[in-house]
Amino acid sequence: MRNVWKWIGLAGVVGVTAGGVLVARDQRRRAAYTPNDIRARLHQRLADAERTERD
């Protein structure tokens, strides 16, 4: 039974580490955008939403 708890603990540590890696990757990707990139993406999303609304 003791071995089971070790594996569960190890799985928890691996899960937390993987989650941290995903968060860090997402932060880097978002930080790479310039304000003009963000503005252009928002305008594109608005145009797409308006086009979908008309259909």
pTM attached to this predicted model: 0.52
Domain boundaries, the chain: 19-55
Query: Which tens digit of pLDDT belongs to each residue from 25-49?
Result: 999 988 888 999 999 999 999 999 9
Q: Mind giving me the DSSP string for 1-55?
A: -HHHHHHHHHHHHHHHHHHHHHHHHHHHHHHT--HHHHHHHHHHHHHHHHHHHH-
Categorize the per-residue pLDDT at 7 as very low, low, confident or very high, splitting at 50, 70 and 90: very high
